[in-house]
Structure 1
């Protein structure tokens, strides 16, 4: 036995790939969220960090009706509880197309020219597949970044060119300057990745900015003699609930060189557990590779879930979408009112609240990173029992996503990120959200009293 133990202890670890080795170290945000999840207390602690939808928006009765309809019609919904294929259910592909044309996003002619495929496990599986299909290179995106995908791309050997955004999306002047600075490395660009309602900032990409980005990738394609695709991630596009935002149209309608792809999901408007994500764009090698990658993974999303989604898109999506948007709109208005009333004196800016379910706050002087007094107050780790409470009954905690995880660690916003945070109003109910904002105000006062002077610079608005 001793010899066996000694032998095992002297063995080298498995020969992991570069991605495998990079993945042995959890990302910072995963470590933080895992720490809270271990002892999170429902109805006591308040989670503003998780990007979950609100349970009340999930249409349980409609899902039950959809399941019954699929079971009752084995002719239309063939073999719904079997494996299915790698491209996706014909019923769902057709239903998504009909939904896009009914809503005015897409015209019939454009729909007929494009190809739509269903991913194996939501929109995230589409993103993961792109990182496998493309040779590692430079990915152009906005800053703040979609931190989950940014971290995954870098672990797979990609480099990010993260460009700060303004109220309309990626700053085009800055983007042109950053591209020019690449010099010969411009040839290493793999693709552009743009979230149309950005996560974490919830900045809504304007129609004019979208057209500018398409024109830019067309120009780069002509210059480099190689297609530079652009992927528009529509994860929160269906959740634009501000009535002042005009109608949205698909970028696929204005794509002269077949460079535009859209990544869609039904998770936010139906149910995340259905795991429906899709890629829509021009037919060709990239789409062929995507289908093969799905086949390598196994199959597209569970077939019964696809058929249920098809049933709901054809008959019930209008009422469901309006109900979901109205719910998030009501919460956004209430949360913004609380932010302005309670946190307003401490803020430099407040973005979001017009789509999706995030606000992105920038503080004037209060730092929000995981080592800050603000964070320690809300996580009840100050070391002061009067604030933290006794070990057996810790005071209510508030989880948020620090800005240090939302900005690119080698980008232009690192310093600003130390004073920022993303607040999700999706999961918790409104009274809990308002309580959390009150606790944030207490934390801000505590932070200003305990930050070192050099940690509390004054920033102009």
Structure 2
């Protein structure tokens, strides 16, 4: 009898697959035996999740709750998502909506339907690690566009694309309170990006988990408001950041022809998003609870952002710079001055030992740049807990820079 070989022949696409440092941190933190202040994961804290309402709604009898559901989503939830979108100023129709298993499935469906191996995808730098990873899993070529205080520097795209020698198939952007920078794309840049997408025959994948969490400033019109019904705009949304990440309920808003293919693709993934969870979310929305919940979140997150900036400045002074987001979850912190040479990837295990976790900057770029930067989530922690975590981070930094 022959001995089995130890090497499995895998698909060529596995060579471009990368794991998520962000998602991997969940298991890493769970394995720690000491207290960790968690600035790493982008998630609300437990006290901000309406668990009592969820428990009540899940406990209510509902025939068919545990059956298979339609792939496109439960009709009650689709109707509630449509109404929610309209309250945010975005007109849509049920024929455009597909309920997904979290925002990540929305991204996966978008890239699966749009990309062939070797296609060019423009991404922000820095940007969401899993967005990069999903594009790479479909063997795309990723090129980076810089970000400033007004989001992606869209004016630079023609030169970036000219250097690449071909037009992109997809432009991936997080326009509101971007992950990780916290910045928001300006109106002028949104308008220009729509024009460039038309010129290049490209699709804008508009990933907006945080848009409903504006706590300061004025709303900027969405791509769908600037160009209603535009088939070049794929909207990816989720309830993970405004209700609870563990629900794994999101949606995409797309041209009906693309939705039909997305339904086909989803049927080969999971048949349907969890029916009990969909119905619970639909019931929560139908009772009119979401708007008051969002009002509460915005107030809490404004306070926590201000506290995080104040605490970081008091601890590190001019040795750091930080973004100042008007919504969302994140600060992007760059080390400078006496700390400019610190590598945040090398600093991470030291910080973890001291009892604080963050995400190092290189996780947010395909090129591995931003070694002097890190992302901290202010949504998860109370100001008192933040102060403890920043003090622990300072102790780790002092250990690294000590002569």
TM-score (norm 1): 0.79
SS in 2 for 1:141: strand
**Conserved? CA contact 1:360–1:421, under 8 Å:** yes
Say if 1:30 and 1:273 are closer, same or farther in 2 by CA, change over 3 A: closer
Question: What is the aligned partner in structure 1 of residue 8 from structure 2?
Answer: 14
Say if 1:181 and 1:264 are closer, same or farther in 2 by CA, change over 3 A: same
Question: What is the aligned partner in structure 2 of residue 346 from structure 1?
Answer: 319
Question: What is the aligned partner in structure 2 of residue 400 from structure 1?
Answer: 358
2:94 & 2:188 partners in 1: Cα distance? Answer: 24
Say if 1:246 and 1:84 are closer, same or farther in 2 by CA, change over 3 A: same
Question: What is the aligned partner in structure 2 of residue 389 from structure 1?
Answer: none
Question: What is the aligned partner in structure 2 of residue 323 from structure 1?
Answer: 296
Stretches of structure 2 lacking an aligned partner (at least 5 in a row) = none
Question: What is the aligned partner in structure 2 of residue 444 from structure 1?
Answer: 397
Question: What is the aligned partner in structure 2 of residue 384 from structure 1?
Answer: none
More displaced, 91-100 or 251-260?
251-260
1:113 & 1:307 partners in 2: Cα distance? Answer: 16
1:441 & 1:202 partners in 2: Cα distance? Answer: 22
Question: What is the aligned partner in structure 2 of residue 179 from structure 1?
Answer: 161
Say if 1:311 and 1:84 are closer, same or farther in 2 by CA, change over 3 A: same
SS in 2 for 1:297: coil
Question: What is the aligned partner in structure 2 of residue 94 from structure 1?
Answer: 79
SS in 1 for 2:143: strand
Given the alignment of the two structures, is residue 162 of structure 1 paired with residue 141 of structure 2, yes or no?
no
Q: 1:233 aligns with which of 207, 211, 229?
A: 207
* Deviation per residue, 1:325-357 (Å, 9 max, x gap): 22222211211111121122211x201443222
Matched residue count? 396
Q: 2:128 aligns with which of 120, 143, 146?
A: 146
What pairs with 1:257-272 in structure 2 (closer than 5 Å)?
Answer: 257-272=230-245
Given the alignment of the two structures, is residue 252 of structure 1 paired with residue 224 of structure 2, yes or no?
yes
Q: Give the deviation of 1:427 after TM superposition.
A: 2.6
Q: Give the deviation of 1:291 after TM superposition.
A: 0.6
Given the alignment of the two structures, is residue 420 of structure 1 paired with residue 401 of structure 2, yes or no?
no
Q: 1:128 aligns with which of 108, 112, 130?
A: 108
* Deviation per residue, 1:120-167 (Å, 9 max, x gap): x21101112223223131111111021122123223311111101111
Given the alignment of the two structures, is residue 116 of structure 1 paired with residue 97 of structure 2, yes or no?
yes
Question: What is the aligned partner in structure 2 of residue 54 from structure 1?
Answer: 45
**Conserved? CA contact 1:141–1:163, under 8 Å:** yes
Q: Give the deviation of 1:62 after TM superposition.
A: 1.6
**Conserved? CA contact 2:13–2:137, under 8 Å:** yes
**Conserved? CA contact 1:146–1:199, under 8 Å:** yes
Q: Larger Cα Rg: Structure 1 or Structure 2? A: 1
SS in 1 for 2:268: helix
SS in 2 for 1:238: helix
**Conserved? CA contact 2:344–2:372, under 8 Å:** no
Question: What is the aligned partner in structure 2 of residue 312 from structure 1?
Answer: 284
1:302 & 1:444 partners in 2: Cα distance? Answer: 44
Q: Give the deviation of 1:409 after TM superposition.
A: 1.3
Q: Give the deviation of 1:83 after TM superposition.
A: 1.0
Given the alignment of the two structures, is residue 204 of structure 1 paired with residue 184 of structure 2, yes or no?
yes
**Conserved? CA contact 2:362–2:371, under 8 Å:** yes
1:287 & 1:371 partners in 2: Cα distance? Answer: 40
SS in 1 for 2:169: strand
CA RMSD of aligned residues (A): 2.4
Question: What is the aligned partner in structure 2 of residue 454 from structure 1?
Answer: none
**Conserved? CA contact 1:263–1:280, under 8 Å:** yes
More displaced, 192-201 or 252-261?
252-261
Q: Give the deviation of 1:28 after TM superposition.
A: 5.7
